[in-house]
Amino acid sequence: MDQLDVANHSTLHAHPDLSAEEIAARIGVGYAVLNNKVNWAADQNKLSQREAISLQLVTNTRDIISAECQILGGRYVRDSDQEGGARNIAEAVLIAAAENGDVARVIQDALSDGRLTAREHARIRGEVDDAVDALNQLLRALPRIESV
């Protein structure tokens, strides 16, 4: 099991508002088939690229592509929605600080038992990616936002 297996599985099963069955229906794949494709214990019948993209679009997550980029030695960076960003420097800084706090929290939780599992590693990686995204959004927003 690696970070891609964890990302595939959690993208289907960890959505706060949609059940795995609902996600499968929206993608147009049977639940049992999709569930088998994200099962990290199964070596065959994995997600196709198009299924992985559809899964991420339906769940509005980017964990799968982030894991793929990590495996390839890179990092997935989202383009920020310029209109959805912070309204001022203080708000942008607070958003970035909150994301950094999330990183510290998941690391503390993960290390509380003295070992780091693949699932915990993937969760930490996701939070770090979110924090980096927030800092990148702050950088991109600086020329367009008004100071406090």
Distance CA 138, CA 97 (A): 11
Beta-carbon contacts of residue 50 (< 8 Å; ≥ 6 apart): none
How many other CB atoms are there within 10 angstroms of residue 127's CB atom? 20
Pair 132, 140: CB distance under 8 Å: no
For the segment 51-101, what is each residue's pLDDT rounded down to a tens digit?
999 999 999 999 999 999 989 998 887 765 444 567 777 888 999 999 999
For the segment 90-143, what is each residue's pLDDT rounded down to a tens digit?
888 999 999 999 999 999 999 999 999 988 988 898 899 889 888 988 887 777
Task: Kindly report the pTM of this predicted structure.
Answer: 0.66
